[in-house]
Structure 1
Amino acid sequence: MYKKTQIVLITVIFALLVIIPVGFLIMSFNNDTEDIADTDNSSIFQSVSNLEALDLGLIDGDELRQENGIEEKSTGENTISEPEDIAVYISLRSIRDDLKIKLLNASSDKLIPDVNFTVTVKSSNKTMDYTDSDKDGIIYIPYVEAGDYTVFLSDITSDNKNYHADKSQTITVSDSIEYAKVDIKDEIKDESQINVAEEDTKVQDADQTTDISVSTDKGNSQAETAPATELQEDDLSEDAEDLLAQIEAETAAAENSKSDYKGAEGGTITAPAPATAPAIASDPQYIAAHSGSKGIDVSKHNGTIDWNAVKNDGVDFAIIRCGYRGSSSGALVIDPLYYTNMAGAQSAGISTGVYFFTQAVNEAEAVEEASMVLELLSGYSLQMPVYLDVEKSNGRGDAISVEERNAVCRAFLSTIKNAGYTTGIYSNKLWFENRISTASFLDNQIWLAQYVDIPTYGATRYDMWQYTSKGHVAGISGNVDMNVLK
């Protein structure tokens, strides 16, 4: 009995020694499992909370990635970024009865291209919307009645950029004109921005290329044959009566010249001889016509020039093209060699002036052209005038009337003159006699182009004569325009 009791007690004690530790182990395992579950649930809820906060913009995405040790993955072209905000400044300008709206980047003060802006223009009696259809950052409105106008810009998003103007602008449009410089610098283009073949299209008129010094034979000079043929093909349809009268006058002058020139032994020369021949070179009229300072006029077409060689060849002055208005689009374009030629000529000690080839069709455009010239002259001192080049182009400037052309010339020259420069006007005999009221511009220098031995132009005086386009000067490859200043 006693032994059985001992066996039972030992069994119970052993069981307790085994069961109790196992129980503790089981309880500990259950507690750990519950803790792990709670931790996982907490992490999930925290992640959901963070994602919601990220979606709501309450926390920074980069910071969240850093806290969780997540590297940002680049998505290449599919990366979506916030649109960039661009502040736009509205610049307004009016010369007369017009309105030009420029849309500038407020930070860089440069025109904003490639955006189809829409503006609202409000006056006292009407409101109109206009778009920048050619996307050059400029909206031009002609024929605007005098009065006050306020311009508003509509917000627009383009190429992931938000464009907006902080405020509107107001301007007063006048029906009178002030011949004064306007801000044009942000409208000046270089030739890389245009179609040069369509824009730089100055052509030689038939009358300008008349050259009686070139003869195919002794009895048949170019003066007798070329003008009639070229004018019939080129200009007869434009103004038949004037041109026919001019042909007749020049033919008569050529016939009269046959008896005017006497040879060394008193014989009559049947036609004017080349300029190198002693007979014409010794003629008093020829000597008088060619007496004066020797000069040239140049542009990009003359290429790179050795100005020291030009100076050493006896050239006293140079008239340099600074720019032109495009014959098709009307763009204002700088001659690509303007700065190079100005620096070279002035460094060589050659007196300099400039010329601008106009294609303006109204006074406002002429003021713009003059303003461009004044902008380009900044920093330079001139010894010669600023000339307006008025010629045929087969472009927009050809179509205007004589009265409109006179207004263009007057606006350009007045604006330049009001800035303190001496002014001049350049054209050929045909245009001075038929396309411009030259007598009304005699307060300016008259620069005549007529390629003859002795000029036949007599409508007004002329101060400088361009007598050939086929001159040769050291330092210039090829032909160059030659001039004599009386």
Structure 2
Amino acid sequence: MRRPLARIASAALAVAAVLAPAPALADPARPADARQMAMHAQESSPAELATRAAPAGVPGIDVSHWQGGIDWGAVAASGVRFAYIKATQRTNYRDPNFNANYVNAYNAGIIRGAYHFAEPNRSSGADQANYFAGNGGAWSADGRTLPGALDLEDTAGQPHCYGMTPAQIVAWTRDFSDTYRARTGRDVVIYTSRGWWDDCAGGSNAFAATNPLWVASWTTAPSPTMPSGFGVHTFWQYTSTGSVPGIGGNVDRNVFNGSEARLIALANNTP
């Protein structure tokens, strides 16, 4: 990862200054259960996934408070070039480790972005997009901030697809995406799996031409299992049982589908 620039310290202070303290709420998003693994196209055994070589692409991770304290210097030294960091969920939860992770990843020279865990049956897409953008998910033209990501998957305690029809899920996602673009000037990255998207959004192609896809496909295959409606992926989360120096326990591993120069272009919003 590129080394910190001279302006990083002041930029990090500016970022920290606009991030309000997180509410003291329990995080309802838990590690994946058997149903969730199926929704993420789990095609390989946990043992195979734990020992697989990383697919081609720029290496990255995604984290939340489940990873505990992170030594971002060690993460960067290991070769990780980007990270997506959980910021928000619903309209009343902010990850308690978001501030530290977001600033410390930046200071370590890692290109980072924030993600929002969607619960579409709780409130409108616009409400959740505004909450996300106002609580860490906004984009900054600083060369090291990725557009925000929308995490679409099941979670414990909620019905499959949040009890909504595919048409309702697509409309909710459109509401979120349009609002996020109006707030930030960027198209939100959509994180999902083939199992979830095909079941819950009916395999819609409504976002393929505008929104980068972050596909969850936990497999040892050389390419991910793609959701219907999308032709290409931008990010691939290929395992939830990865290991990275500086992080205790398992961590999601990802690759960017392209060169590091293209990853920087995505962060900079340049062709």
Q: Which TM-score applies when normalising by structure 1? A: 0.42
Equivalent-residue separation in structure 2 for 1:291 and 1:341 (angstroms): 26
Question: Which residue of 225, 228, 245 maps to 1:474?
Answer: 245
1:302 maps to 67
Equivalent-residue separation in structure 2 for 1:399 and 1:480 (angstroms): 29
2:111 maps to 351
Q: CA deviation at 1:383?
A: 2.8
Question: Which residue of 439, 457, 466 maps to 2:205?
Answer: 439
Asked if residue 448 in structure 1 is aligned to residue 218 in structure 2, the reply is: no
1:375 maps to 134
Amino acid at match of 1:210: Q
Q: CA deviation at 1:366?
A: 1.3
Q: CA deviation at 1:191?
A: 4.7
1:64-105 deviations in whole A, cap 9, x for unaligned? xxxxxxxxxxxxxxxxxxxxxxxxxxxxxxxxxxxxxxxxxx
Q: CA deviation at 1:413?
A: 1.1
SS in structure 1 of the partner of residue 134 of structure 2: helix
Amino acid at match of 2:251: V
2:265 maps to none
Question: Which residue of 94, 114, 134 maps to 1:334?
Answer: 94
1:251-304 deviations in whole A, cap 9, x for unaligned? xxxxxxxxxxxxxxxxxxxxxx77858xxx7xxxxx8xx111100000010111
1:360 maps to 120
Amino acid at match of 2:40: Q
Q: 1:415 to 1:312 in 2, by over 3 A?
A: same
Q: CA deviation at 1:426?
A: 0.6
Question: Which residue of 200, 208, 226 maps to 2:29?
Answer: 200
Amino acid at match of 1:294: P
Note the 1:238-257 alignment, pairs <5 A. none
User: Number of residues paired by the alignment?
Assistant: 224
1:99-153 deviations in whole A, cap 9, x for unaligned? xxxxxxxxxxxxxxxxxxxxxxxxxxxxxxxxxxxxxxxxxxxxxxxxxxxxxxx
1:457 maps to 226
Q: Greater RCO between the two (CA within 8 Å, min separation 6)? A: 2
Question: Which residue of 146, 157, 164 maps to 1:400?
Answer: 164
Q: CA deviation at 1:213?
A: 5.2
Amino acid at match of 1:457: M
Q: 1:209 to 1:477 in 2, by over 3 A?
A: farther
1:167-201 deviations in whole A, cap 9, x for unaligned? xxxxxxxxxxxxxxxxxx9xx98452x3x26x335
Equivalent-residue separation in structure 2 for 1:411 and 1:189 (angstroms): 27
Amino acid at match of 1:400: M
Asked if residue 314 in structure 1 is aligned to residue 146 in structure 2, the reply is: no
Q: Which TM-score applies when normalising by structure 2? A: 0.74
Equivalent-residue separation in structure 2 for 1:468 and 1:439 (angstroms): 25
Q: 1:458 to 1:191 in 2, by over 3 A?
A: closer
In percent, how many aligned pairs have the same letter?
A: 30
SS in structure 2 of the partner of residue 372 of structure 1: helix
Structure 2, unaligned runs of 5 or more: 1-17, 258-271
Equivalent-residue separation in structure 2 for 1:201 and 1:474 (angstroms): 23
Q: CA deviation at 1:209?
A: 6.1
Q: CA deviation at 1:433?
A: 1.9
Amino acid at match of 1:200: A
Q: CA deviation at 1:202?
A: 6.7
Equivalent-residue separation in structure 1 for 2:68 and 2:121 (angstroms): 30
SS in structure 2 of the partner of residue 354 of structure 1: strand
Amino acid at match of 2:95: D
Assess if the C-alpha contact under 8 Å between 2:121 and 2:164 holds in 1: yes
Q: 1:391 to 1:336 in 2, by over 3 A?
A: same
Equivalent-residue separation in structure 2 for 1:313 and 1:211 (angstroms): 27
Amino acid at match of 2:112: T
